[in-house]
Amino acid sequence: VADFRPLDIAAGGQGAPLVSLFDRLWLRGRPGTPVALNLGGIANLTAPDGTAFDTGPGCALLDAAVRESGCGGLPYDAEGALAARGTIDPRLLRRLLAEPYYALPPPKTTGKELFHAGHLRRALSGLGTLPAEDVLATLARLTAETVADAVRRVGGTEVIASGGGTRNPVLMRMLRERLAGVPVRPSDALGLPSAAKEAYAFAVLGFLTVHGLPGTVPASTGARHPSVLGSVTPGRKGLRLPPAGPSAPERLEVRDPRGGGT
Cis peptide, bond prior to residue 17, ω within 30 of zero: yes
Strand partners, 187: none
For 175-197, b/e burial (b = at least 16 CB within 10 A) is bbebbeebebebbbeeebebeeb
Q: What is the pLDDT of residue 17?
A: 86
Q: How far separated are the first and last CA of the chain, in Å rounded?
A: 26
Nearest Cα neighbor of 44 from 23, 30, 65, 25 is: 23
Say if CB 217 and CB 254 are below 8 A apart.
Answer: yes
C-alpha 179/C-alpha 234 separation (Å) is 46
| DSSP H/E element including 94 | helix 90-97
Q: In what order do the strands lie in the sheet with 34-39?
A: 52-57, 42-46, 34-39, 158-162, 184-186
Instruction: Quickly count: other Cβ atoms within 10 Å of residue 105's Cβ.
Output: 7
Q: What is the pLDDT of residue 254?
A: 42
> Do the strands 184-186 and 158-162 form a parallel or antiparallel pair, or are they unpaired?
parallel
> 31 to each of 88, 159, 172, 207, how far by Cα in Å?
35, 12, 23, 28
Predicted model pTM: 0.86
> 23 to each of 47, 69, 73, 117, how far by Cα in Å?
8, 36, 35, 30
Question: Can you list the domains of the chain with their CATH numbers?
Answer: 20-193 (3.30.420.40)
- Where does residue 94 fall: left (phi above 0), alpha (psi -120 to 50 degrees), or beta otherwise? alpha
Per-residue pLDDT of the chain (262 residues; tens, 9 = 90+): 999 999 999 999 988 888 888 998 888 999 999 999 999 999 999 999 989 999 999 999 999 999 999 886 789 999 999 999 999 999 999 999 999 999 999 999 999 999 999 999 999 999 999 999 999 999 999 999 999 999 999 999 999 999 999 999 999 999 999 999 999 999 999 999 998 998 999 999 999 998 899 998 888 888 999 999 998 888 888 777 666 655 544 444 444 444 444 4
Q: What is the pLDDT of residue 262?
A: 45
> 143 to each of 87, 105, 150, 262, how far by Cα in Å?
15, 18, 11, 34
Q: What is the pLDDT of residue 127?
A: 96
C-alpha 23/C-alpha 77 separation (Å) is 28
Per-residue pLDDT tens for 153-179? 999 999 999 999 999 999 999 999 999
C-alpha 159/C-alpha 146 separation (Å) is 14
C-alpha 109/C-alpha 20 separation (Å) is 13
Q: What is the pLDDT of residue 250?
A: 47
> Do the strands 34-39 and 42-46 form a parallel or antiparallel pair, or are they unpaired?
antiparallel
